[in-house]
Structure 1
Amino acid sequence: QVMLLLVILLGVGLNSAAAAKLGVVETEGGLVEGQSYRMSLFRTVDVFKGIPFADVPGKWEKPKPHPGWSGILKATKYRDRCLQVTLLQTKTQGSEDCLYLNIFVPQGSSLSTNLPVMVYLFGGAFLLGASNDLAILGDSLYDGKEMADRGKVIIVTVNYRVGTLGFLSTGDSRLPGNYGLWDQHAAISWVRRNIAAFGGNPDNMTIFGQSAGAASVSFQMLSPYSKGLFRRAITQCGVALSPWALQRNPMGLTKKIARKVGCWRSDEDEMITCLKMSDPAGLTMAGKIDVLLILGKGTVMDLLELAPVVDGDFIPDDPSRLFHNAAQFDYMAGVNSMDGHIFAGVDVPSINSEKHVTTVEQVKGLLAGLTKEKGNAAIDSAFSVYSSNWGSAPEQALVKKTVADIETDFLFLVPTQIALQLHANNSSGANTYSYLFNMKTRIFVFPKWVEAEHAEDLQYLFGKPFSTPLVYFPRHRDLSGYMIAYWTNFARTGDPNRGESRVPVPWPTFTKYRRPYVTINHKMSKSSVRYAALCYILLLLYFSVF
């Protein structure tokens, strides 16, 4: 009888554990119903996929409110990505009907309420990507279940327009551009208005993103339209100050795309009318990366053309002059130690080859390509900084690593450090935090000296070592746990050290006068906290694009 009673009690306990489930939720557009996924004995995550946050957008128009629906929307499938080129750029994929978001809500034995909310913006060079991108062993890379469950936060992932339809601009009111940024803003605003019904706290929202998504987060912080919209921001491997994140000659690019789709006219208004009548798929293909640009005269930098612009509205001025708008947001930013390696491998292919030598001339050539506006003196000065530890006969591995470091500094590290400094200088009571992610690469085809490649942080942040344990080791689960703890604590309190999760090392704040950063990997200790060196100031001078 005692055993029977225990079984009954256990059954009641399990049922009540499974009972915490949102079911049908009322949003401004209508009723939605998701799916519940069991994470452990007493924990589930409610997942809502494909909730519309805006109507089907008109071509080069700002997003409009969704008209709503009748009945219950079954939010159980990801919706199409926005129209874009495929990774190999041979065709297009996706749809113009693409402004949808996905919500991941952790549940215990009782329904969650007042949870912190984290809204994620995907990367992809403003050219491609989706809120459910890159399926790895069946799960989207940006599946928010592990992060939501372990950090006790709501995760939201959103789609936005990319490529020609998201970012083409004439640099004036005829085609102002930044449509993808307006989509992001519409999604964040929708979350603020509706997330309470899902158990979230609309007054405690954090936006975060990686690469072009990080630059997007940065632009959202700097826009006057974001005042009071969210509380915190995290940028991973990209900021609005990154040289690839802003198109400074939008009309030149628009004319180039017009030529490709047969819309070239000497009269600009006629050209724009023709573009507006053009086939969306053709326009999208016309925006693909033109690899021929790089041959003999350029760098990867010159390939990344479709990007936000200073439109006098959403981005009213050069991003470097807008940090007063970000003063109220807590801010966390960092890069991967070899963010630039994949791009350096395009600019100087010999760095990834055992057989081929990387020469001093190639290193200087890369510096020349990256600092075109600065003249020869800057090239020589920068070269002397980078080669200072080479000695008289440097090993090839060191020279090749230097090439990757140069590209990392120029495209990612220096702009991020400037953004952190400007945030700290302008901050009114908000916190600033700096990090360097330097876990060794898991991409075995790369040379031994390669550390953390661009985008390698994401698998750990989204908990892949837990959801697909067979392809990871315990050290990867340690790192994943650390990152989820820091990120979700920061979302909860504005301080990565304080919250629901224990962290391995106290992370000091970055201030106007002190520039500590934490190095994030699987072996974290007190020595993980370091300070930016003096040569960093020199690099700011050499590489600053302002």
Structure 2
Amino acid sequence: TMAKLGILVAVAVFLRTVSATSLGVVQTEGGMVKGQNIRLGLFRHMDVFKGIPFADMPGRFEKPKRHPGWDGVLKATEFRKRCFQLNLIMTDTRGSEDCLYLNIWVPHGRSVSSGLPVMVWIYGGGFLLGGSMGANFLDNYLYSGQEIADRGEVIVVTLGYRVGTLGFLSTGDSSLPGNYGLWDQQAAIAWVHRNIRSFGGDPDNITIFGESAGGASVNFQILTPHNKGMIKRAISQSGVALCPWGINKNPRRLAEEIALRVNCPTDETMATCLKMTDPVQLTKAGALNLSSSPDSPLVFNLVLSPVVDGDFLPDEPHNLYHNAADIDYIAGVNDMDGHIFTGLDVPSLNSQLVDTPVEDVKRLLASYTKEKGTAGLNSAFSTYTSNWGSSPNRETIKKTVVDIGTDYIFLVPTQAALFLHASNATTGGTYSYLFSEPNRLGGLIKPYPSWMGADHADDLQYMFGKPFTTPLAYWPSHRDLSGYMIAYWTNFAKTGDPNKGDLKVPATWPKFTSSAQKFLEINSKMNVNYVKQKLRLRYVHFWTSILPNLSFPE
């Protein structure tokens, strides 16, 4: 009978381990939290925590403060509201000022996880919109960390930060210094560093990653001296600190415009008045002007952005890359990242039937090179039309417009950031990529022409594993691509080398060096032949060397 009892006990223990591997109630600095445990398969479970506060509700235009904590067990099972922001069409507001919360996905195998690498996601949205959970379609949130955490065996954290006027308004002096949204992100990273061990994470192996304004934010977070020793690696997707929209060089002018819109004076009482203004009005006053044209491109309207404040950013970003010397860094862009912008600037771009006038190409280039006057325009125009031949066809002209936008807004600044990182690096590795999976709606739905490559944000669905979550919406080749991205990204988070880790990759991704400038082209057809070098070198050279050195016209 003792033998029988032993077998029964063994079976009971076995059933318990099969039934749930879970952290249960977790002790954090603010108090106890309990998430939700989901079963993913035999011996695969995951704890999901939604809505853990990483800071107190922030004061208006103030840095975030530590959360005072709570009694009892906080039920962390619902996403909290996103930070106060405009809706997509800029007519109304949504969200709350009480929004500094984060979400955590922790995968478990046969036993409860410990010492896992941690990946912290920072969302994009032009510093104007976004939320830690991303767009929601039938309860399938874009930024759900589940697939990355499960397939890559890493902890995924997503965080909220203030955007728009409440996150980035600055008077350019100490009365309203700005960068509140960046301080929020920093507070969340610091919270993860202090608390993630209780969730089975390794506080000494934190990778931050983000896209668009989130990619630029990632870059700012590794450049600021305030994160010393907290971040091990970083990934910037379609956005770096050097992007033309990354820093507002004249915040005072914008602050005065916004003050006038909400009936505040523009004298020394401006800051006091703004602090007392209704958040709905403040947020609406920061609306993006969407009426763009080749003469006033949309990218120049993205003005609610970080500022060089002497604190978070003690200097211009290009002078701060020494702070990232021991941080491993991946940065890259999508091959048609600029399409989302140039399609609004040049409306004929997305029409299959209408020609895009060469005049519009010139007008767009004139806007981007206006500091250098006619000399700048002529030099740019000859650079971008050198392969046109005597009579370029409709598609050639349209693609050139997208290339110009992509280069100026994303690609060239990203190459510059890679150069600066590589040349300042001590132990940190540098990796460059170009994502080129054609948009799934290309040729099917306006505004996507048949020649469409990867538009801005097209990479997100693959990185977050949507082809696995909603298999019916994708082809098998999309699942291949999603698998590749999750493999490279999570291998990198574990080892600092995207090729080394638990997941196999289709091609060995070489480091980026200033001399060889190698990069990996990522798409569903990729293989070893997709390792390339000197990405659009002629155009990078034009924007970084030729244009700045043109003598300014008298």
Find the aligned partners of 1:314 and 1:86 in 2 and give their Cα distance: 28
* Cα contact 2:429–2:496 (8 A) shared by 1: yes
CA distance, structure 2, for counterparts of residue 104 and residue 544 of structure 1: 46
Q: Is structure 2 residue 348 aligned with structure 1 residue 323? A: no
1:461 maps to which residue? 463
Aligned to 1:37: 38
Supply the distance in 1 between the matched residues of 2:433 and 2:502 (Cα, whole angstroms).
21
Q: In 1, Cα distance between the equivalents of 2:53 and 2:240?
A: 27
Residues 1:545 and 1:126: Cα distance change in structure 2 (over 3 Å): farther
Superposed displacement of residue 144, structure 1: 0.2
Per-residue CA deviations over 1:338-397 (Å, capped at 9, x if unaligned) read: 100010101111110123211211101110111111222222222222112211111101
1:92 maps to a residue whose letter is: T
Change (3 A) 1:298 1:109: same
Match of 2:389 in 1: 391
> What is the CA–CA distance in structure 2 between the aligned matches of 1:175 and 1:408, rounded to whole Å?
33
**In structure 2, C-alpha distance between the alignment counterparts of 1:373 and 1:18, rounded to whole Å:** 65
Contact 1:192–1:202, Cα closer than 8 Å, also in 2: yes
1:54-109 Cα distance to aligned partner (Å, 9 max, x none): 00000000000000000000000000100000011111000010000000001101
Query: Does structure 1 residue 290 correspond to structure 2 residue 294?
Result: no
Once the 2 structures are TM-superposed, how far is the Cα of residue 133 of structure 1 from its aligned partner? 1.6
Calculate the aligned-residue CA RMSD, in Å.
Answer: 1.9
CA shift for structure 1 position 319:
0.6
Residue 360 (structure 1) aligns with: 358
Distance in 1, Cα, partners of 2:11 & 2:485: 34
Structure 2 CA distance, aligned partners of 1:305 and 1:129?
16
CA contact (8 A) 1:337 1:436 kept: yes
Using the TM superposition, give the Cα deviation of residue 541 of structure 1 relative to its aligned residue in structure 2, in angstroms: 2.6
Query: C-alpha distance in 1, partners of 2:501/2:352?
Result: 47
Conserved? CA contact 2:264–2:273, under 8 Å: yes
Q: Describe how 1:94-243 pairs up with structure 2 within 5 A.
A: 94-243=95-244
Give the alignment partner of residue 305 of structure 2, picking from 291, 300, 307. 307
Q: Are positions 1:541 and 2:545 aligned together?
A: yes
Give yes or no for contact 1:118–1:154 (8 Å, CA) kept in 2. yes
Q: Is the alpha carbon distance of 1:283 and 1:542 closer, same or farther for their aligned partners in structure 2, counting shifts above 3 Å?
A: farther
Q: Select 1:345's aligned residue among 325, 343, 346.
A: 343
Q: TM-score under structure 2 normalisation?
A: 0.95
1:19/1:109 contact within 8 Å kept: no
Percent of pairs with identical residues? 58
Residues 414 and 543 in structure 1, CA contact (< 8 A), matched pair in contact too: no
Change (3 A) 1:295 1:363: closer
Structure 2: how far apart are the matches of 1:474 and 1:283? 46
| Deviation of the 1:15 alpha carbon | 4.2
Q: Which moved more, 1:189-198 or 1:297-306?
A: 297-306
| d(CA) in 2 for partners of 1:136, 1:45 | 22
What amino acid is the match of 1:281? V
Aligned residue for 1:3? none
Whether contact under 8 Å (1:331, 1:432) holds in the other structure is: yes
2:493 corresponding residue in structure 1: 491
The CA deviation at 1:19 is: 2.6
In structure 1, distance between residues paired with 2:43 and 2:111: 10
Q: Is the 8 A contact 2:293 2:344 kept in 1?
A: no
Q: Distance in 1 between matches of 2:549 and 2:245?
A: 11
AA aligned to 2:390 is: S
Residues 342 and 453 of structure 1 are in contact (CA less than 8 Å); yes or no, is this contact kept in structure 2?
yes
Counterpart mapping for 1:352-431 below 5 A: 352-431=350-429
Q: In the alignment, is the contact (CA less than 8 A) between 1:338 and 1:405 conserved in 2?
A: yes
| 1:88 has 2:92 as partner | no
Shift of 1:8: 11
Would you say the 8 A contact 2:152–2:491 is kept in 1?
yes
Amino acid at match of 2:148: M
* Matched residue, 1:252: 253
Unaligned runs of 5+ in 2: 1-6
* One-letter code aligned to 2:305: A
1:544 to 1:280, Cα distance in 2 relative to 1, 3 A: farther
In the alignment, which of 457, 471, 474 is matched to residue 473 of structure 2? 471
The residue aligned with 2:28 is 27
- Name the residue aligned to 1:451: 453
Q: Is the 8 A contact 2:125 2:214 kept in 1?
A: yes
CA distance in 1, matches of 2:305, 2:228: 23
Contact 1:242 1:415 in 2 (8 A): yes
Q: Which residue of 1 aligns with 2:275?
A: 276
Q: Aligned equivalents of 2:293 and 2:108: distance in 1?
A: 54
- Shift, 1:12, TM fit: 6.5
* Residue aligned with 2:532, SS: strand
Distance 1:531 1:11, change over 3 A: farther
Shift of 1:40: 2.2
From the superposition, tell whether residues 295 and 367 of structure 1 become closer, same or farther in structure 2 (CA, over 3 Å).
closer
* 1:245 CA drift (Å): 1.1
What is residue 516 of structure 1 aligned with on the other side? Answer: 518
Please identify, of 12-21 and 418-427, the stretch whose mean Cα deviation from structure 2 is larger: 12-21
Amino acid aligned to 1:489: N
State how far apart, in whole Å, the 2-side matches of 1:243 and 1:192 are: 31
Aligned length: 539
For residues 173-208 of structure 1, the C-alpha deviation after alignment (integer angstroms, 9 at most, x for no partner) is: 111000000000000000000000000000000000
1:526 maps to 528
